[in-house]
Amino acid sequence: MIGFCNRNGALLLEEEIIVGIGDIKCGKGGQSIATYALGSCVGVCMYDELTGIGGLLHALLPFAKNIDMVDPARYVDTGVKRLFHEICHRGASPARLKAKVVGGAKMFEFQTNVEMEDIGTANVHQVHRELQALGIPIVGEVTGGEVGRTIHFTPGTGSIRIHASDKSEKII
């Protein structure tokens, strides 16, 4: 629950919408949509400021490779498209959509003989490709590094509060 006060000082409680790993949730206006512990996973917040409609995707891996079409939100390539369709179906205008991206950290160091992109970086790069293909600008981004992040997204304003595992906080 999230608490805030109205103009008269009365405490109002609002349910927070929780997004799990490989999940998408949508909301409107002043609702809070949150996802916890983004490590190498990536959180994509997409919204239309005029209607106040938005949604949050918590994607685990960059590509579905047609192996798991039952759960498209697990993957960036299918999840971004699904998020786009979900919020447009609720009344958001494709022409007004904006996005913010959080996560994509490099959480583990692996020794390999081949230089390869870590999962977090691959997730972020795929988000960029998918949003560019849809013509949706990225207006805020906090990605990379080596910290986990929890985000609280308000669709009506596009604001995201970010709490990192290193105790830092940021609003984008």
| Annotation says 41 is catalytic | yes
SS3 assignment for the chain: CEEEECCCCCEEEECEEEECCCEEEEEECCCEEEEEEECCCEEEEEEECCCCEEEEEEECECCCCCCCCCCHHHEHHHHHHHHHHHHHHCCCCHHHCEEEEEECCCCCCCCCCCCCCCHHHHHHHHHHHHHHHHCCCEEEEEECCCCCEEEEEECCCCEEEEEECCCCEEEC
Catalytic residue among 26, 41, 45, 88: 41
Active-site residues, by number, are: 41
